[in-house]
Homo-oligomer: A and B are copies of this chain.
Amino acid sequence: MPLPAEFHDIAKRVNNWGRWGEADEIGTLNLVTDEVVREAAAEVRTGRRVPLALPLKEDGVQSGLIPGRINPLHSMVQINQEIFGPGTVACSDDAVTMGLQAATHWDALTHVSHSGRLYNGRPADTITAHGGAEFGGIDKAPYIVSRGVLLDVAAAKGLDRLPGDHAVTPQDLDEAAEFGRVEVRAGDIVLVRTGQIQVYLAGDKHGYGYPSPGLSVRTPEWFHARDVAAVANDTLTFEIFPPEIEDLWLPVHALDLVEMGMLQGQNWNLESLSTACGEAGRHSFLLSAMPEPFKGATGTPVAPVAVF
């Protein structure tokens, strides 16, 4: 089934292919200029830090529904091993196996393709089992530090969390910006809070994933108009799931990642951040959310921190 005309209309409006040259592999991260970073650092006034990652553990958010995306299996390969002889300093060492998008993560631009194409018009088959993504892998985005803005959609509506069938619209984003008295600017990293992660934190993995509120197919244009550098939220699927348009699966992924070249983040825990923004009286901060530079990877765990 081909993607509907409606999808292609939006795609045309948000497309950034060629905007930063044919060789570009990082998309809207180009918008995080040195000047943006300087201004982001100026957001630091108290020094308070708020971490946004879920713990990496076997009992993580994955319920088994997404094949291959396994929760981190942590195991010890050395425990207090006196490798240089009895009585010497003893070492402990560990290993992990995990899906790169199992927990709090960034999608790389190559996480999805449509119509055989990746961001910037690259052929989808440049992703191979051998080397992963030849172009646009997460290792091409070596740093993500910018101004962060929380759009607390749930709080703006006076809700703990949005209902499972709520598609976050451009109007919701405007409302949340107003609620936070913040203006979204070029190069910002926007964090959209739905509160959905509370479902996981309360122990219901299945309910966390489905049904889930998330971004509407109408939002990519909103982000595009403001030259946002990246967007993350507190859900498993990022966009509303099941989708708002029947049989149109993952349209926001295709628009953000493939057309616009804008990174997406999922499973970010924005609960403490919501509190901290309330206490600070502002919804902007310095955000560091460095990808682990896995060569050729289509995603990466990330341990973001907001600094007020």
Contacts and interface: CB of A to CB of B under 8 A. Distances in A.
A303 interface: yes
A170 interface: no
Contact of A80 (B56, B77, B113, B292): B113
Contacts of A26: none
A167 B291 CA distance: 33
Interface string A83-110: 1111111111111111111000000001
Contacts of A97: 70, 73, 95-97
A111 B91 contact: yes
A74 interface: yes
Nearest to A77: B68
Given A34-B46, A45-B38, A253-B89, A290 B307 contact: no
A290 B80 contact: no
Nearest to A303: B290
B95 A99 contact: yes
Interface string A104-130: 000000111110000000001101111
Contacts of A160: none
Interface size, A (range): 35 or more
Contact of A75 (B48, B129, B142, B251): B129
A67 interface: yes
Contacts of A83: 249
Say how many copies of this protein the assembly contains: 4
A216 to B, nearest CB: 16
A202 interface: no
A81 interface: yes
Contacts of A142: 51, 53, 303
A103 to B, nearest CB: 9
Contact of A132 (B44, B74, B294, B297): B74
A30 interface: no
Given A47-B35, A112-B92, A297 B74 contact: yes
A34 to B, nearest CB: 3
Interface in A267-308: 286, 288, 290-299, 301, 303-305, 307
Given A49-B145, A73-B77, A75-B77, 6 more contacts: A37-B48, A53-B142, A55-B294, A90-B113, A90-B124, A93-B100
In order of increasing CB-CB distance, the 3 nearest A-B pairs are A68-B77, A34-B47, A41-B44
